[in-house]
A and B are shown apart, each in its own frame.
Chain A
């Protein structure tokens, strides 16, 4: 039903393109370079320089204070071998993997999907209320949320102990990892829920109707219609959640890595090493190791998603 009125502006837009076929924007190389210069400077200043500096720092014995702060010495790969032979590094990596698996992949993704699935047919105020509550957890600044959780889990007058009748239970001392896993699920589930909500609304209703017509149960609909339709979303969501959870520092606000390093996930481990521990060189080296692990995770997902598209 289109009319012919759009042809005139379209023709005028093509005109400059015809004149400079090699340069779409029509700026010329020098001007185009100037145009992106601010962005390049910012990228160089805030991304490239810190990255290169981290690599250099990681090869020195630089410390926050003392003699090594005044004149750090080049130690080559000592920091890397020190980190990789230190049991506390591997312990920290192990804790991080547990944390990512339970709070990120299982917790946030599954609960987020379950929430999105269960509210998909609800409309009106009830849906707004549920979504609002979940989003609130996400919108509250992490520092505020962590205070809230400290109060909830407090040993002496905590709300959780009051509700469960478990007076005197020090959740953050007796079950530190479980506590930060639940905390992180609480903080981050809203994202998965929102993402899956929009994914679910994009599933063609005709396919669901057809499945219902042939008598598929709820589970069968989910497995054979919904999941194949939103596979891409599941993958993207899992990649994002994994990387975010892997790098998050927020649990530090709840447990400070304690007690005795039981919640010292990698980000906290690096902070403890570099800032209060003062070993900036070693901290930089571990940061780089962490960056490489991130890269491996991302590449892994890219491979999986490529394989999926080929099929």
Chain B
């Protein structure tokens, strides 16, 4: 039996609960303190995590950026705390996460992202031009003079800077010199055409337990397939994924590339088609290369400086004898001179960088931190861990000489490289290209795969915006 006072208590409890729920809903929207004198907390996020993916970057942020920046701010009499939110997942998952964060008005103050996402994020209104977020200090920054226009373009969209690039990269063919020696191939290998590559792979096929070549294919690997597989081959045929306001469709070049995939995976079994369909295929290909089971692998310099880097705690598939065993060489065009601009050799480059979150409560301090992360001192500290090609000319001139591989990329590859179009539709076209390679690798004819691809791109961009038949 419920007596009167007990009933009143229950009613009060019910009101309180309902009230609490309503207020809980509102609390998040309370206006934030804009006064900068009080303590400020900033957060940085990147797809990097200690002991895992991009470990060197994660360590640099926690061990150098945060303490140094906090100390510098303290000298200025500001109480700033910086937190790092590490991630260590597939790039596609990371992209989804930050898109959802930004969409809901949340997210870290400084967000690391692939340059190719800038277009679609900007169109969605998730990110805004840097000077709009960070104020006048952005355009006055000394760093812009040190970063070449082409590199800045990687984090730009519609002629506006959306972020600060954190590096440039290039793609090469890696090969295992031990396996080459066993197969009677030269250690200073430099193929001149696709046929040269295939011939070497045919020799490697005679070795036991070795996959001769792995050319990234399929949707499981996401953008890695496009960037470290299809696109470098496509530019080798003289075509680009986007030129003269048209996306590549069912063209001769695309058919040639898909034919190459068919030769490697279906006709001659030079590559492991199953590996390309496995959910963790890319990581497995790293492991296999590191354990001398893959002869030739097309990857970016990230593979050298991060994945197989023997330095303590840096690589996810470290090779103790990397410098002796791993060779690298420029990617040949289909035939000498058949590449874009009549080139003999080709490559693709991308860039990652960091953007400011427009939802930041302290955008000006966040910009100070971002500028600090891109100072010459910061890159020098970053390169003390593992060397990477930085966006800053002053730092590169001084530091790259220490690493022959990165010097090679910077001097030989970057001058001949090509970039993906900074358009919002690109990621969708890229997915369609990945599907085309998967179709071929899993047995569809080249003609069918190419026409299915062209139909998909017409759906995305409209009939007029696609070249080829």
* Residue B21, interface by CB 8 Å: yes
Is B11 in contact with A31, judged by CB distance below 8 angstroms?
A: yes
Residues A45 and B99 in contact in the complex (CB < 8 Å), given A16-B1, A258-B279, A259-B277: no
A66 contact set on B, CB distance < 8 A: 119-120, 123-124, 424-425
Identity of the chain A residue whose Cβ is nearest the Cβ of B278 in the assembled complex: A173
Chain A 21-43 interface mask (CB, 8 Å, partner B; 1/0): 00001110001001101100110
CA distance A94 to B277 in the complex (A): 22
* Residue B137, interface by CB 8 Å: no
Identity of the chain B residue whose Cβ is nearest the Cβ of A254 in the assembled complex: B279
**Which residue of A35, A45, A255, A277 contacts B10 across the interface (Cβ within 8 Å)?**
A35
Is B124 in contact with A70, judged by CB distance below 8 angstroms?
A: yes
* Residue B96, interface by CB 8 Å: yes
Identity of the chain B residue whose Cβ is nearest the Cβ of A37 in the assembled complex: B18
* Residue B2, interface by CB 8 Å: yes
Is B123 in contact with A65, judged by CB distance below 8 angstroms?
A: yes
Identity of the chain A residue whose Cβ is nearest the Cβ of B1 in the assembled complex: A16
Q: How far is the CB of B341 from chain A (nearest CB, A)?
A: 31
* Chain B interface category by residue count: 35 or more
Is A65 in contact with B99, judged by CB distance below 8 angstroms?
A: yes
Identity of the chain B residue whose Cβ is nearest the Cβ of A82 in the assembled complex: B459
Q: How far is the CB of B35 from chain A (nearest CB, A)?
A: 31
Is A27 in contact with B7, judged by CB distance below 8 angstroms?
A: yes
- SS of B interface (majority): helix
Is B15 in contact with A260, judged by CB distance below 8 angstroms?
A: no
* Residue B92, interface by CB 8 Å: yes
Is A38 in contact with B14, judged by CB distance below 8 angstroms?
A: yes
CA distance A173 to B99 in the complex (A): 31
* Residue A172, interface by CB 8 Å: yes
Is A64 in contact with B123, judged by CB distance below 8 angstroms?
A: no
CA distance A172 to B278 in the complex (A): 8
Q: How far is the CB of B25 from chain A (nearest CB, A)?
A: 8
CA distance A68 to B22 in the complex (A): 31
Is B15 in contact with A67, judged by CB distance below 8 angstroms?
A: no
Q: How far is the CB of B447 from chain A (nearest CB, A)?
A: 18
Q: How far is the CB of B10 from chain A (nearest CB, A)?
A: 7
Is A276 in contact with B124, judged by CB distance below 8 angstroms?
A: no
CA distance A173 to B96 in the complex (A): 26
Which of chain A's residues 236-275 have a Cβ closer than 8 Å to chain B? 255-256, 258-260, 275
A173 contact set on B, CB distance < 8 A: 274, 277-278
CA distance A172 to B92 in the complex (A): 22
Chain A 54-71 interface mask (CB, 8 Å, partner B; 1/0): 000000000111110110
A65 contact set on B, CB distance < 8 A: 99, 117, 120-121, 123-124, 126, 424, 427
CA distance A46 to B431 in the complex (A): 34
* Residue A137, interface by CB 8 Å: no
Identity of the chain B residue whose Cβ is nearest the Cβ of A176 in the assembled complex: B277
Residues A38 and B124 in contact in the complex (CB < 8 Å), given A31-B7, A259-B277: no
Is B18 in contact with A38, judged by CB distance below 8 angstroms?
A: yes
Is A70 in contact with B278, judged by CB distance below 8 angstroms?
A: no
Is A259 in contact with B21, judged by CB distance below 8 angstroms?
A: no
* Residue B103, interface by CB 8 Å: yes
CA distance A65 to B92 in the complex (A): 13
* Residue B17, interface by CB 8 Å: yes
Is B123 in contact with A67, judged by CB distance below 8 angstroms?
A: yes
* Residue A170, interface by CB 8 Å: yes
* Residue B442, interface by CB 8 Å: yes
B424 contact set on A, CB distance < 8 A: 65-67
Chain B 78-106 interface mask (CB, 8 Å, partner A; 1/0): 00000000000000110010011001000
B457 contact set on A, CB distance < 8 A: none
CA distance A278 to B427 in the complex (A): 10
Q: How far is the CB of A210 from chain B (nearest CB, A)?
A: 49
* Residue A12, interface by CB 8 Å: yes
Which among B92, B124, B125, B218 has the greatest number of chain A C-beta atoms within 10 A?
B124
CA distance A288 to B332 in the complex (A): 50
Q: How far is the CB of B350 from chain A (nearest CB, A)?
A: 18
Is A38 in contact with B21, judged by CB distance below 8 angstroms?
A: yes
Is A35 in contact with B126, judged by CB distance below 8 angstroms?
A: no
B99 contact set on A, CB distance < 8 A: 64-65, 278
* Residue B297, interface by CB 8 Å: no
CA distance A12 to B220 in the complex (A): 70
Is B7 in contact with A69, judged by CB distance below 8 angstroms?
A: no
A275 contact set on B, CB distance < 8 A: 96
B119 contact set on A, CB distance < 8 A: 66
Q: How far is the CB of B224 from chain A (nearest CB, A)?
A: 14
Q: How far is the CB of A178 from chain B (nearest CB, A)?
A: 16
B22 contact set on A, CB distance < 8 A: 41
Q: How far is the CB of A33 from chain B (nearest CB, A)?
A: 9
* Residue B331, interface by CB 8 Å: no
* Residue B438, interface by CB 8 Å: yes
Chain B 398-438 interface mask (CB, 8 Å, partner A; 1/0): 00000000000000000000000000110110010000001
Q: How far is the CB of A223 from chain B (nearest CB, A)?
A: 45
B25 contact set on A, CB distance < 8 A: 45
CA distance A67 to B423 in the complex (A): 11
CA distance A26 to B121 in the complex (A): 57
B17 contact set on A, CB distance < 8 A: 38
Identity of the chain B residue whose Cβ is nearest the Cβ of A12 in the assembled complex: B1
A174 contact set on B, CB distance < 8 A: 274
CA distance A66 to B114 in the complex (A): 15
Which of chain A's residues 106-160 have a Cβ closer than 8 Å to chain B? 155
* Residue A164, interface by CB 8 Å: no
Q: How far is the CB of A232 from chain B (nearest CB, A)?
A: 37
Is B14 in contact with A34, judged by CB distance below 8 angstroms?
A: yes
Is A70 in contact with B125, judged by CB distance below 8 angstroms?
A: yes
* Residue A52, interface by CB 8 Å: no
- B residues near A (Cβ < 8 Å) are 1-2, 7, 10-11, 14-15, 17-18, 21-22, 25, 92-93, 96, 99-100, 103, 117, 119-121, 123-126, 218-220, 274, 277-279, 424-425, 427-428, 431, 438-439, 442
Closest 10 A-B residue pairs measured CB to CB?
A: A69-B124, A259-B277, A65-B120, A70-B125, A66-B120, A38-B17, A256-B279, A66-B424, A67-B123, A34-B14
Name 12 interchain pairs, CB-CB below 8 A, sorted by A: A16-B1, A35-B11, A37-B18, A42-B21, A65-B126, A66-B119, A66-B424, A69-B124, A70-B125, A172-B278, A260-B219, A260-B442
Further pairs besides A37-B18, A63-B124, A170-B274: 4, Cβ < 8 Å:
A42-B21, A65-B427, A66-B424, A259-B278
